[in-house]
Structure 1
Amino acid sequence: MNNPAGAISIKPDERGVRSIVFRALGSSCKINFIQPDEQAALKFLAEALSWLETFEKKYSRFNPNSEVSQINAAAGIEWVKVDHHMEHILDLINDLHRMSEGILDPTTLPLMKVWDWKTVHTKIPNKEVVDAALMLTGWKKVQRKPGAIFLPHKGMGIDFGGFGKEFAVDHLIRIAHQNGIADVLVDLGQDLFALGGNGLHPFWHVGIQDGRHKDKYLGGLAVSGFAVSSSGDYERRFEHDGVRYGHIIDPRTGWPVSNGMCSVTALAPSCLQAGVLSTTVFVLGREKGIAFATRAQDVEACIQDDRGTEKTPGFIDKQVQAA
């Protein structure tokens, strides 16, 4: 986690809001909160950043010493012992996989390596390569027993990027609550949760990303007591022969989603729920996605695709025009 010098604003602004801006989990992050007592504010920040640093070291596949990297290195070779924290996350994945009807699948790492958005694409992978990687995916293939996990085929791998930020947001909100902070916004790469208000209003103002234009917004939301998560291809994508390929892979086909979707913004009681909803709706497309969102409880959504924008009534109710 990168926390640049000077990123912490100890002195509150005119609204009484303290802010910290940093990079973690591969994203630009911020925490805004109101706490008049400076020592209490510093205590909260220390606890929050310490937990986040530990979480990233332990569960990032980019850290060769993380538990995730150890599991991946042992794929097709041997069982790997895991602690109760990892057991909890693996149990959670079972629930998320079922909740998303199989769309959220952390075993898509072989496909992510085939579709490497960090490289300049002069050609797309051929079908044989994609199909071979697809054969190495599938959460139901993962074997578990108490205190251990085994990926049965060499080349398999797991990645928690599909829900790691959302999990972290929810935990940081719990840390804020434990520290008696009633007004806080935790935003980890546009996956966020807000409590209370921003000192001027009884809510926090959050922009809704325009899926077609990275630097534009569809409007704003009044957020308090719920989470917001967005999925779209505006962050990482490439074009080849006039076809746009985004970074969200359909785990059923092994290919980037190509159903005309631009972005989905979801509201839910937890960031995990919002993240699962936004990704699942994006992959399913407009009709099936709206049906999926309608079946879910206590959630709202804004869907943007090639045909335009559609919002649930509850989403519209939470829109605001200005901060």
Structure 2
Amino acid sequence: MENSIKLMLFLSFCFVSNQALLANASVPALYVFGDSHLDPGNNMHLNTPAKPNRWPYAIDFHNIRGRFTNGRNMADFIASYLDLPFPPAYLNLSDSERSQTTTGISYASASCGILNTTGAGECLTLAKQVGCFTSTVKNDLPLAIKDQEKLQDHLANSLYLVFIGNNDYHDAMSHNVSNKFSPDKYADILLDEVTKHIKTLYDLGARKFVVSGISSCQPHNYTKDCKSRYFADKLPQRLQELRCTLSGSLFTVYDVVNVYKKITDNPQKYGFTNIQDPCYPEGGSLCKDRKKYLRFDQYSHQTEAAYEIASKDCFYGQACSPYSILELAKAPIISHH
């Protein structure tokens, strides 16, 4: 009931009529912007200590190094629900492969963040990720989709995951920048950057966005340890304002709390027996059953089992609001820019 009310309020905010959702969603591509939670291998090509280049990372994914978990990440699962291949890492692709890839790409890069100053060693900041996507749109996709109108349809009907900002709240990764401002002001700085880059994606043709609220704290919990909650609580309003200025744009928010509270309140329901300890503590031994652990390592990366639950809840359930990803995928495009 609460989600239905939120959806109605969101849609009425800009006085946009909500036409009937299409019966069958057809999403041509999934484009991914993010950090280590979504990085499928970009950092393997960069001079950085933030690389999952050792056992047991990817132990349940044919030992193909690149992901910061034992198997698939959220973007992989969302792509599979959309009947798309896993979005490949941008830096894994040769020039010729980039010009033939029309089902989506991941630009996500571990340790990086929203701010250009965030990161450990080399990484793709959000600005660089958007720059890579700009090259995809202007240089690569036109070689595969030669008709300009079809290219615009491709971009407008694709989905764009923007799951970044965790590292901007990490003291080491942000180089303590987060402590130079009040939490309220810092959230505004980050949101200004995010909205600027979303506008760039929109100008390139993007219309449907899934944006992460990043904070794992309860809503309106503004304690010293929950500074990121300012960002999460302000994000929906920022996206509402964007929707009113960017004709035809659609946004939904992934709030980490929504899904993980369900798991921690009733871990047995989801098959977990340990929600506190990492399955693989650095230098320790690997847990015997990865499906029973919520956390994979001590760096806040989850197990494949946890990412699957989160992805499913965002895609079909209520972890993403006001739309599930399925509803977003089905929503008709009102206009092209």
Q: Normalising to structure 1: TM-score of the pair?
A: 0.29
Bigger Rg, structure 1 or 2:
1
